[in-house]
Structure 1
Amino acid sequence: MHPDTITEQFSRLVDRAGVPPITLHQVRHTHATMSLRAGVNPKIVSKRLGHATVAFTLDTYTEDVPKLHHDAADMVTNLFFDDPVDET
């Protein structure tokens, strides 16, 4: 199958669905960003995208995911301020 054929078919499906236009490449970026936002391990996201390194994936996508920064701060804060474990 020729790549242009797949692109054209995808564009027709997007039109029929009545959603905002998006390219297949944008679908790839959306998948990566949403996966990271959902908490999928970056190594898994990197492998699914076929990237050579996790570093490339993180460099490319983490700026789009400000929630990751907030979550990281919360995790570290929780190390200091979590409720003590009740041992009774």
Structure 2
Amino acid sequence: MYKDLIFCTFQGDFKDPRNILREFNRLTKDAKLPGITICNLRHLHATQLMINGVNPKVVQERLGHLRVAVTLDLYSHVNEDLQVDTALRFEQEFLS
């Protein structure tokens, strides 16, 4: 039975969160990554999607937020950068 899990055992069952954290910490240490967390990866994923112009509704659904407003509030810093980029693009097109 497919359970739609991100972290699961080889049999597809729920994995103990302590084991997930232990494995993740070992992998990041072996890769010589600075203190990165699973939450950091989630934030990076969402931020990159927003920067790449993915519709916020899609980002909201991927993150599991109940409302798109939550996603937009949490990633408003990305939206500000996108606003500046959009304004510069518009100006360039308008003046060309």
Fold match (TM-score > 0.5):
yes
- Selected match of 2:81 from 67, 73, 76: 67
Q: Structure 2: any 5+ residue segments left out of the alignment? A: 1-14
| Larger Rg computed on CA atoms | 1
Q: Which has the higher contact order (CA 8 A, sep 6+)?
A: 1
Q: Structure 1: any 5+ residue segments left out of the alignment? A: 84-88
Runs of 4+ aligned structure 1 residues displaced above 3 Å come to: 74-79
Aligned identity (percent) is 41
Give the TM-score taking structure 2 as reference length.
0.72
Counterparts of 1:4-83 in structure 2 under 5 Å?
Answer: 4-64=18-78, 66-74=80-88, 76-77=90-91, 81=94
Aligned-residue CA RMSD (Å)? 2.0
In 2, are the aligned partners of 1:62 and 1:68 still within 8 Å (CA)?
no
Higher helix share: 1
Give the TM-score taking structure 1 as reference length.
0.78
